Structure formats: structure tokens, C-alpha cells
Chain A
């Protein structure tokens, strides 16, 4: 790995919900003691199922929300300790692309306005030529500058979302399921665009997805999360998984080849409530290898530093 650009150190986020006249507020750990680093120019993938904390991690890394504990360092600067002004200055170097291209763009503004907004917020004026250039960089014709988001297809909207994220020429971009609402045909276009932009602009990505197949195609290393915790970090896309949950995710991916049909091993059991996690390993309720020890003690992420796994009985 190249020198780390982003260092995430024991980052946690606790959420409280409910609470009222009669109900006690309940708390849950959306992100629990996550430690990771991202090398310059690297594409680090994060996968896991709905509610495992991927978006919360994304927001924490850009400090769009405050962590309960832990730190995030970008190129040596601890952004969790910065003042608002200093944070705004360093934010120029970081950007985020959201999942839903339908709701993340304001329908009242033209694309020219949408794209100029990040610059305006930083107190800059931009020439119309710059807007054309931004559109061109994501493969959209300049003629679209005057149109409004509702006039675009989902794929075009997501291209605009990417162009806007790149407006301030960041070097670190967090992509939170940027293709989840798109057809596979358009997803592949967007992934090709992201790969091209990374090569041309030397970007570093934190790429979030629930699709392990996609992450294995696009990313350099892969972080697997389950109920707020990192359970495995795959050092590359070829290494076989060692955590039973990662295995289950891989098995759930059907290859488009009827000659390779197979019976998948069923995960029985339900995902526990994040508000009432059982003791021990959070995956034990569904894990085919779970032992008494798994239901009693919590496995820590460890073992091989290049390929850590949090499991007492890894594959």
C-alpha cells in the first residue's frame, strides 16, 4: 500500500432513538471502533448489508457528523479536532457522492447553478466555460447546462452529482452507493467514468456498496462490515474470504451463467436488533460455524495484519 492519505482510528458513533414520556431512549452503536487507512490513489471498498453503518462511516470520515469517539486524520491533519473555519478549508479537498441521484439535486436549479454552487459557497465566481468543462469531464454535453435535474435520466443525474463533487478539485472522494438506484447498464457506465476520473485526476476513493461483486471488480482492498463493526479486510480482490459472513455475501452473488448453478448454503436465523445485540459475535445468530465461545466472547479484528478477520473459527 502507498502512504496512507486517510487514517481512521477507533472511530465510533452512537445513536439514540425514541425516548418519551414512558419509553426509555434506546441507544445503538452504528459504527464501532473502526480503524482503517486509505492509501493515496487507492480505492477502498466498504461492503455490508443495509443498516451495517456504511453511510454513517462515510459521514464520519468527512466529519459531516460528529463522532462519539475516535479520530480521522487526512494527510496528517486530525479533522476531528479542527475548528469550523479550518474544517471548511480542508473540506475543499474532500467530497461526497450520494446514493440517490433523484433527491440529491435541487429540482429548482439549472445544472449550471447546481455545478457552480460548491464554488459559490467557497466564495468563488465561475465562468460559464468552467461549467461546460465540468459537464464534459463526466461525459455530458454542454447543451445540458441550462436544463433542470428532472429533465435528466438517472445516469445523467448521477454524472451531475459526480461533477459537482469534483467542482473544487478534491483529492479524496467518498462515494456512498453511487450506483445503487441505477440499472446495471448505467451502473457500468458510471463505474467506468469513476475509474477514468481516478486515473486522470489522481483521486483517492472510499467506495461504499452492498454489492460485493461490484466492489471486487472496482476496488483495491475491501472492508466488510456487519452491524457496525469491521469483520474482515480483504487485501485484494483475489484473496479468498476467511470470515463466514464474507463467504455468505460472496455466495449470494449469482454468476450470470446457468452452467454454474449451485445450491447456496442457507443462513438461518435473523439479524439481531442493533439496539439489543446479543453478547459475543454479532453474526453468531446466523453463522453456520458458531460455537458456545462465539455466543459468549466478542472476536476482535486481528490475525494477519494485511488480511485481518474478526472470527474465532475463520475459514
Chain B
């Protein structure tokens, strides 16, 4: 599969602080790629780098390339990049309120996306909006299009934002923790709907989440970030069955599961270091049960395996 979005060995800095270091990952059409890691590991920055939004927060790509559909993003003008984002990339953020205009009716806000990017007439745009809302299991879509944002629940608003992201028929959707603010039952439904819509339409989805359960449920591949570096990347099946990187294994082990013996959930000792104080060698070494002297002194190289990548001096058995 040719990748629609391809980050190739990128590093990112803000000022003179290096925040991301040599990250490679790609997302193909109809594919869902999860980006996971604890808070502060660099997930949102990776997303911003992917769509050329780093300048907004004073950041820049210092190394490597980002390609969208084969085109080098760095070689485009800002106008071209803006056009690309508008027409071909949908963005869903954690907080639906920032994406919705409080003084415009829901239907109009969704309609405008397909009118602008697909050139649809008013009537066709509305028909498309109603179809999307129905697919997102919004009850009484016909009434919801006439509602104002404040009349809808959080779960509804988040579904509207997802509808807006899909309305322009984008090739890529980047969803940054799209459901963390929602109730668990609604969360599970939205994740499931998003996953199936993306596959049905051949859209590429980069799904940022801190929930390994969500990754296991909907993603094809997963990229695990730790302290600005890639720990492990590859197809979800083998990674969950036998994680090579101790950090991946630890993250999976933090999720309470049925049948788990009491006391078996111990967490990961310590905390994610801040960018100003990254440890030498492997950045995970102060928290890693397998850390050796080699780990404390030398950063592990990224090793490409048949299906993915791992950066660890003492990886678990590959299958």
C-alpha cells in the first residue's frame, strides 16, 4: 500500500528545545493508525508536524520530511498547505466546543464544509449532512440540523464535529483524543463508528489516544511514543500479542482487565521526563525493568523488522 501520509525520520524543535526525535510513521488509505503514549510523550506535536501546523506554536521540523500523497510538505507554500488542509485533511480535536460556532445552526455548519470543498449546492449539501448525521447514529437528524450547539449534549456535539471532518470528503483525518471528554458508552460508540466510516470510504485515519483498549479495538497499526521518540511501531496483532518494547508491554499492562488478580496492576514507576531533562541513553531507562548499563549510556537505534520498527537494546522475542 502506498502511504497517503508519510513522516520520514522527522525531528521537531520549539526554540532550541528538541521535542521530537527521528520519528517515522505512515498512514495509508482506509487504514487506522493509533498514536499512543503517556501525556507529554509528543502525540499532539507529531500530529501538528504531520499537517504543517507547527508554526502556529513556534515549532519547526528540523530534520526529515513529511509527505502527503507523495508531495513534500516543506516544499509547499503556506497558501498551498492551507489549501491542502482545508480540502483534503479533516481535523478532530478533543474539545468540540472550540470547533463549533455558537451562533450558527448545526446544519449550516456542516453544510458549509461540503459546499466549500466539494462545490455542492445548498440542497445537495444538506442531503449529505443528513446522511452523515444518520450514519453517525444521531437520532432525529432532521431536527438536529436546526438546533444550536448549546442545545446538544457533549456526545452529540462531538459527533457533529466528526461529521464536519468527514463532510468535505477528506483523504486524511487526524483525530486528537476525539472522545476523552465523553461518557464511556458514547466514547465506545463514536470510536466504533469512526473506524467503520473510515474503512468504508477509504479515508486514512491517524487516531491519537492514550487508551490501549481503543487501539486494540479499531487500529490496524500503532505507533508508541515515549519522551519524543518512537518506542515501537507496527501492526496491532503482533504488537499486542508480544510487544517487543518494554514500554509497550508496560502500557498494555496498565489496563485493568477482567480476571486480573488483585495487586497485579502496578503501573509504570516514575513519570515521563520533561523535554528539558531527557535522560541520557534510552529515555525510558529510569523506568525500565530491563535497563542495563548499555541502556543508560547509549540511545537504542531504531531497528526495522519485517512489519514494523523497535528502538530497544533488549527487545522481547519477536514472533
Residues of A within 8 A of B (CB): 49-50, 153-156, 183-192, 195, 210-214, 216-218, 248-249, 251-261, 263-264, 266-271
Q: Which residues of A contact B192 (CB under 8 A)?
A: 263-264, 266
Q: Which residues of B contact A270 (CB under 8 A)?
A: 139, 153, 156
Is the CB–CB distance between B139 and A187 below 8 Å?
Answer: no
Kindly provide the distance from the CB of B289 to the nearest chain A CB, expressed in whole angstroms. Answer: 13
Kindly provide the distance from the CB of A132 to the nearest chain B CB, expressed in whole angstroms. Answer: 21
Given A185-B38, A267-B189, A271-B153: A254 touches B269 (CB 8 Å cut-off): no
Is the CB–CB distance between A269 and B139 below 8 Å?
Answer: yes
How far is B191's CA from A249's CA once the two chains are assembled, in angstroms? 15
6 smallest beta-carbon distances between A and B, as pairs = A188-B267, A254-B213, A217-B256, A189-B267, A252-B188, A185-B268
Assess whether B87 is interfacial by the CB under 8 Å rule: no
Kindly provide the distance from the CB of B308 to the nearest chain A CB, expressed in whole angstroms. Answer: 14
Q: Which residues of A contact B267 (CB under 8 A)?
A: 184-192
Assess whether B104 is interfacial by the CB under 8 Å rule: no
How far is B189's CA from A186's CA once the two chains are assembled, in angstroms? 26
Is the CB–CB distance between B189 and A257 below 8 Å?
Answer: no
Assess whether B39 is interfacial by the CB under 8 Å rule: yes
Is the CB–CB distance between B256 and A256 below 8 Å?
Answer: no
Selected from B183, B188, B215, B262, the residue in CB contact (under 8 A) with A210 is B183
Is the CB–CB distance between A188 and B254 below 8 Å?
Answer: yes
Q: Which residues of B contact A264 (CB under 8 A)?
A: 188-189, 192
Kindly provide the distance from the CB of B199 to the nearest chain A CB, expressed in whole angstroms. Answer: 13
Chain B contact-residue range equals 35 or more
Q: Which residues of A contact B156 (CB under 8 A)?
A: 270
Assess whether B197 is interfacial by the CB under 8 Å rule: no
Given A185-B268, A256-B257: A249 touches B185 (CB 8 Å cut-off): yes
Is the CB–CB distance between A213 and B210 below 8 Å?
Answer: no
Given A185-B254, A258-B236: A49 touches B183 (CB 8 Å cut-off): yes
List 4 additional A-B contacts (Cβ < 8 Å) besides A188-B266, A189-B269: A213-B255, A255-B255, A266-B192, A268-B137
For chain B residues 270-304, which have a beta carbon within 8 Å of chain A? Answer: 271-272
Selected from A50, A184, A192, the residue in CB contact (under 8 A) with B255 is A184
How far is B184's CA from A298's CA once the two chains are assembled, in angstroms? 25
Is the CB–CB distance between A212 and B184 below 8 Å?
Answer: yes
Selected from A187, A190, A254, A257, the residue in CB contact (under 8 A) with B188 is A254
Residues of B within 8 A of A (CB): 38-39, 137, 139, 153, 156, 183-185, 187-189, 191-192, 210-217, 236-237, 240-241, 250-258, 260, 262-263, 265-269, 271-272
DSSP majority for the A interface?
A: helix
How far is B215's CA from A188's CA once the two chains are assembled, in angstroms? 19
Given A188-B265, A213-B257, A266-B137: A252 touches B271 (CB 8 Å cut-off): no
How far is B268's CA from A188's CA once the two chains are assembled, in angstroms? 8
A-B contact pairs, 26 of them (CB 8 A): A49-B184, A154-B39, A155-B271, A183-B39, A185-B250, A187-B254, A189-B268, A192-B266, A211-B256, A214-B256, A217-B256, A217-B262, A217-B265, A248-B185, A251-B188, A255-B213, A255-B255, A256-B215, A256-B257, A258-B217, A259-B237, A259-B241, A261-B216, A266-B137, A267-B185, A270-B139
Q: Which residues of A contact B263 (CB under 8 A)?
A: 192, 195
Q: Which residues of B contact A50 (CB under 8 A)?
A: 183
How far is B185's CA from A254's CA once the two chains are assembled, in angstroms? 11
Q: Which residues of A contact B265 (CB under 8 A)?
A: 188, 191-192, 217
Given A192-B263, A213-B257, A268-B137: A256 touches B216 (CB 8 Å cut-off): yes
Kindly provide the distance from the CB of B77 to the nearest chain A CB, expressed in whole angstroms. Answer: 39
Is the CB–CB distance between A266 and B189 below 8 Å?
Answer: yes
Kindly provide the distance from the CB of A18 to the nearest chain B CB, expressed in whole angstroms. Answer: 14
In the complex formed, the residue of B with least CB distance to A217 is B256
